[in-house]
Amino acid sequence: MQLGVCYYPEHWPETTWAEDAARMRAIGLTWVRVGEFAWSELEPEPGRYDWGWLDRAIDGLGAAGLRVVLGTPSATPPKWLVDRMPDMLPIGRDGRVRGFGSRRHYDFSHEGYRDEAARMAAAMAERYGRHDAVGAWQVDNEYGCHDTARTAGPVALAAFRRWLASRYGTIDALNEAWWTRFWSMRYRSFEEVELPLGAVTEAAPGARLDYARFASEAVVAFHRRQADEIRPRSPGRPITHNGMLFFTDLDAHALGRELDAITWDSYPLGMLEESPLPDEVKRRYARTGHPDLVAFNHDVYRGALAPEPGAPYRPFWVMEQQPGQVNWAPTNPLPAPGAVRLWTHQAIAHGAEVVSYFRWRAAQGAQEHLHAGLLRHDRTPDRALLEAESAARDLAAQPEPPARRRGHVALLLDYEDLWAAQIQPHAAGWREWLVWVEVYGALRALALDVDVVPPDRDLTPYALVVAPSATIADDALAASLRRALDAGARVVLGPRSGAYRRDMVVHAPAPGPLAELSGARVGRVDTMRPGTTGALSAREPMLGVLEPAGYHTWADLLEPEAGTEVWATYAEHAYAGEAAITMRPQSAGMVVTSGAWLDGATWARLLGTLALQAGLPVLPLPDDVRLSRHAGRPLLQNFGSETAQVDLRPIGGPLVEVPPVDVAWVDLPETADG
């Protein structure tokens, strides 16, 4: 449990560096990330490197007792490089070239640029790979930020065709998968295939899904090229990358397979402002951040790397932690006093090894001059510095943490499900991630810890496995769930589960290979306008447990087979009386299917009942309060503006008062882990 900061020595006079390093150390920071945008300072002319300043910066940080995360600067290729190969510039999906003058001005598929980025990474690793102060590497910065993962233009097109040829082998196989008999879309060769952008109306779903896969894989290939240069030159130093909140264009699980540690950038207020949550929620949490949005992203990234055998998870960090106002959201409020400290502790309690603030000192010029740092523009401390210092003191005073813990519930996330729903939302209210966040929030409000994991992860340790929307279903998914059921799990399938095959052709009938598990097929599908809701009628054994039960946006009308119980039916609209929630006993466990997108309270009633049956330590928490225990020691967090009384006695803990925007570490018996 350590703290760090992102630092840009190249922005400031060298005379200030030694004092900066000493101050960082004095407030309890141990890690400093440098270099990730510094290409034109490191190689001002082609082939003429200027390492001197970075040598002195790294030496100075090391001498102050700090460890360095060295970033490769491929997010910011210099002007001379762009002028040498202008076709490296990304072309937006609208067909316009996205030019030089900010950052991320390259196409991931451009072979020449991949080579250049790899050359620069190799040169840096050659020089600093074995430096005592260099403890880790970050390759590039926020892949795909500013909508740069999915591009158009000749570079992307040629790469897409090559990718398709290697995926399908023959054009007939592609025609089959994309259903090109429809609308006369048949191709005679891979050379005829276009990017699924700019067609008169929507392009074929199969083509769009492949484009999403291709774009994500291009990022991973770009990453691998640099990592391959760094690894042999910098033995023992983990290689990481910093992901983004609620980002869909890159499959974090696929990138995770390439990384030694994963990190993400946590901007609780910016994220809330940009989220699709209702205005009243944004107002309520405008200065503290939403208790579940940040936590969900922690859990997504913590789950992105497969754990070593026997361990609950692999290292994850917050590489950039919001320290004050940001500059990029529609409005940029100042955090409440205490919020930075709260976020720091929250990250640690979700398993973060390091929390690193962005940035040390507010930039006086250029694009981010209105973004806060730990220091203000004039080098005086901003409030975040004091809160970071206080967090560092708290963490240093913590007893050695008990062993890290697995979550109680596995929440399945497959990026292809997000892509499929992006391509075919079918309901104005179907916003990617939202159903995940609602299910997650319901579990978190019951004091349950959640592991967000890909479906191929070992699910057998979990008593409760929830797939909020396993839209794309294949035999591998069914087999993974079957193993969990054999081990006694309760498996919950949410709306749209089993809708599609991997090629985005619908299962006939849905839910395809999941039908054997759910014991119910999907007969018809209803979607509702935003703001329209519906009621469900519960049946035994959920009578009196589930009601009042409501849903919105999506309704799969379920047709149960013999042996499948109906737990709730739709109570209104054109399909009153049809099955909405079913339960099928399976092996040692059961499969509960909700064809309806339940509202938060109904999810909580359903999942809470199942969790209690499974022996998990369910405890309804006060609004605004969350309990997290991935790091071993349980942490209560209060995101509200009033002191919260939290009674942990039902799960064997104490009665605790948590002041507003504050935290309390507590002790709970191991049995409270279920």
SS (HEC) of 298-319:
HHHHHCCCCCCCCCCCCCEEEE
The answer to whether residue 416 forms part of the interface with ligand GAL (CB under 6 A) is no
Considering only residues 350, 371, 408, 605, which one is a binding residue for ligand GAL as defined by CB under 6 A? 371
| Residue 43 known to be catalytic | no
Q: How far is the CB of 121 from ligand GAL (least distance, A)?
A: 18
Helix, strand or coil, per DSSP, at residue 352: strand
Catalytic pick among 36, 43, 142, 416: 142
Considering only residues 217, 229, 320, 526, which one is a binding residue for ligand GAL as defined by CB under 6 A? 320
Helix, strand or coil, per DSSP, at residue 626: strand
Residue closer to ligand GAL by CB (options 138, 569) is 138
Distance CA 237, CA 601 (A): 46
How does DSSP classify residue 16? Answer: G
Strand ranges for 413-489 from DSSP E:
450-453, 464-467
Q: How far is the CB of 52 from ligand GAL (least distance, A)?
A: 24
Distance CA 335, CA 311 (A): 35
Q: How far is the CB of 639 from ligand GAL (least distance, A)?
A: 21
Tokens 């109306």: give the residue: 201
The answer to whether residue 637 forms part of the interface with ligand GAL (CB under 6 A) is no
Strand 242-243 and strand 262-266: pairing?
A: parallel
Cis peptide leading into residue 307 (ω within 30°): no
Q: How far is the CB of 358 from ligand GAL (least distance, A)?
A: 5
Catalytic pick among 320, 387, 438, 578: 320
The answer to whether residue 326 forms part of the interface with ligand GAL (CB under 6 A) is yes
Spell out the residues 6+ positions from residue 527 whose beta carbon is closer than 8 angstroms to its own. 426, 427, 429, 430, 553, 554, 555
Q: How far is the CB of 315 from ligand GAL (least distance, A)?
A: 20
Q: Kindly compute the dihedral angle of the four CA atoms of residues 104, 108, 109, 115, in this order, to the nearest 10 degrees.
A: 90
Q: Which stretch binds ligand GAL (CB under 6 A): 137-145, 187-195, 394-402, 561-569?
A: 137-145
Residue closer to ligand GAL by CB (options 163, 358) is 358
Distance CA 659, CA 640 (A): 9
Residue closer to ligand GAL by CB (options 97, 329) is 329
Residue closer to ligand GAL by CB (options 80, 328) is 328
The answer to whether residue 321 forms part of the interface with ligand GAL (CB under 6 A) is no
Helix, strand or coil, per DSSP, at residue 520: strand
Considering only residues 141, 216, 275, 356, which one is a binding residue for ligand GAL as defined by CB under 6 A? 141
Token digits for 590? 């059961």
Q: Which stretch binds ligand GAL (CB under 6 A): 83-91, 320-328, 337-345, 620-628?
A: 320-328
How does DSSP classify residue 45? Answer: B
Considering only residues 107, 116, 142, 249, which one is a binding residue for ligand GAL as defined by CB under 6 A? 142
- Chain centre to alpha carbon of residue 465: 19
Q: How far is the CB of 391 from ligand GAL (least distance, A)?
A: 19
Strand 520-527 and strand 549-560: pairing?
A: antiparallel
| Residue 194 known to be catalytic | no
Residue closer to ligand GAL by CB (options 141, 582) is 141
Residue closer to ligand GAL by CB (options 320, 387) is 320
The answer to whether residue 265 forms part of the interface with ligand GAL (CB under 6 A) is yes
Q: Which stretch binds ligand GAL (CB under 6 A): 139-147, 156-164, 207-215, 373-381?
A: 139-147
Considering only residues 316, 358, 570, 639, which one is a binding residue for ligand GAL as defined by CB under 6 A? 358
Distance CA 362, CA 385 (A): 12
- Chain centre to alpha carbon of residue 22: 34
Report how far apart the first and last C-alpha atoms of the chain are (Å, whole number). Answer: 25
Residue closer to ligand GAL by CB (options 106, 214) is 106
State the burial class of residue 323 (Cβ atoms within 10 Å of its Cβ: 0-12, 13-18, 19+): buried
Q: Which stretch binds ligand GAL (CB under 6 A): 141-149, 202-210, 228-236, 602-610?
A: 141-149
Q: How far is the CB of 201 from ligand GAL (least distance, A)?
A: 34
In angstroms, what CA-CA distances link 658 with 5, 49, 207, 396, 526? Answer: 28, 53, 52, 21, 44
* Residues designated as active site: 142, 320
Contacting residues toward ligand GAL, per CB under 6 A:
141-142, 145, 265, 267, 320, 326, 328, 358, 368, 371
